[in-house]
Amino acid sequence: MKIIITGATKGIGKAIAEKFAAEGFDLAICSRNNEDLKGFKKEMQSKHPQIEVLTKVADMRKKTEVLAFAAFVKKHWNGIDVLVNNAGLFIPGEISKEEDGALEQMVETNLYSAYHLTRALLPVMLDRGSGHIFNMCSIASLIAYPNGGSYSISKFALLGFSKVLREEMKDKGIKVTSILPGATWSASWAGVDLPESRLMQANDIAIAVWSAWTMSPSAVVEDIVIRPQLGDL
């Protein structure tokens, strides 16, 4: 079995990679940082020597690099079982005050990357009549919140993309699931003065993704909303 995860060297993406690797999945991941990729590959192969780990440097803001990553994976693999569009960028700010270009940066990273990568890889899934696509949306896909700005706009759009894709793929054997997590410990929250229990663990999201994947072919979880027990921040 084979899984592709974007932005998988840290946080939620890494937790998902670790969970699926432990279950015997081969991994294909990308990151902007080659050193992070090297460290990830070494760690995964040390823990799970039986799996294959493909890595490639790619800036998911850039369509050419997204397509190059897709071509790289297709060159090595004939089949893809799971795609997790996880790469994301969060720049806090209000629409009226955020820096010029913030919308473009986050739409390119959070929406366009998922759109272009999915389109590039869908033919592989369609040929087999199976596959599961997970789009890492956010609570920000559902509600506007203070300092959410263009991030919320991009995540609302990603949820829309995911819902359209679900409708188009439902009779083709391909599942589509939107993951909508609230505050989760990751690099974005580094240094925040909050107790560990206030935010969710990245592994909580990985468990949810794995659970959705394990369902029978006749069932699909369309949306998974996951919040900290004490509610949103």
Q: Which residue has the tokens 């004490």?
A: 230
DSSP letter string, 77-91: -S--SEEEE------
Contacts for 177 with CB less than 8 Å, ≥ 6 apart:
132, 133, 134, 135, 162, 209, 212, 220, 221, 222, 223, 224
Contacts 24+ apart (CB under 8 A), 34-42: 36/9, 36/10, 37/9, 39/9, 40/8, 40/9, 40/14
**What is the rounded distance in angstroms from the CA atom of residue 123 to the CA atom of residue 22?**
27
Out of 112, 115, 145, 151, which one is annotated catalytic? 151
Contacts 24+ apart (CB under 8 A), 103-107: 103/150, 103/153, 103/154, 105/61, 106/150, 106/151, 106/153, 106/154, 107/150, 107/153, 107/154, 107/157
Is 151 considered catalytic here? yes
**Catalytically annotated residues:** 151
